[in-house]
Amino acid sequence: MLYCLEAMRLAPSASNAQPFFFHVCEGEKAKEIAQATQSMGMNRFTTNAPIQVVISEASYNPTAAIGSRIRDQDFRAVDIGIASIQFALAATEKGIGTCLLGWFDEKRIREILGIKERVRLVISVGYPQKDVLRKKVRKPLRQLTDYVKE
Ligand SMILES: Cc1cc2nc3c(=O)[nH]c(=O)nc-3n(C[C@H](O)[C@H](O)[C@H](O)COP(=O)(O)O)c2cc1C
Interval 100-108 mean pLDDT: 98
pLDDT band at 142 (very low <50, low <70, confident <90, very high): very high
127 lines ligand 1 (CB under 6 A): no
Q: Give the residue-averaged pLDDT of 94-122.
A: 97
CATH of 2-143, one of 3.30.572.10, 3.40.109.10, 3.40.50.300, 3.40.50.2000: 3.40.109.10
For residue 83, what pLDDT is reported? 98
82 lines ligand 1 (CB under 6 A): no
d(CA 103, ligand 1 centre) in Å? 9
Average pLDDT score over residue span 23-42: 98
* CA 99 to centroid of ligand 1, rounded, Å: 7
pLDDT band at 49 (very low <50, low <70, confident <90, very high): very high
Is the CB of 138 inside a 6 Å radius of any atom of ligand 1? no
User: Does residue 86 contact residue 61 with C-beta atoms inside 8 Å?
Assistant: no
Query: Given this model, what pLDDT does residue 63 score?
Result: 87
Q: What is the pLDDT of residue 131?
A: 76
Confidence at residue 129, expressed as pLDDT on a 0 to 100 scale: 84
Interval 110-124 mean pLDDT: 98
144 CB-near residues (< 8 Å, 6+ apart)? none
State mean pLDDT over 68-72: 91
Given a cut of 90, is residue 92 above it in pLDDT?
A: yes
The domain locations on the chain are 2-143
pLDDT band at 47 (very low <50, low <70, confident <90, very high): very high
10 Å CB burial of residue 100 (0-12, 13-18, 19+) is middle
Characterise 149 by phi-psi region: left (phi > 0), alpha (psi -120 to 50), beta (else).
Answer: beta
Helix H or strand E segment including 21: strand 20-25
pLDDT band at residue 64 under the 50/70/90 scheme: confident
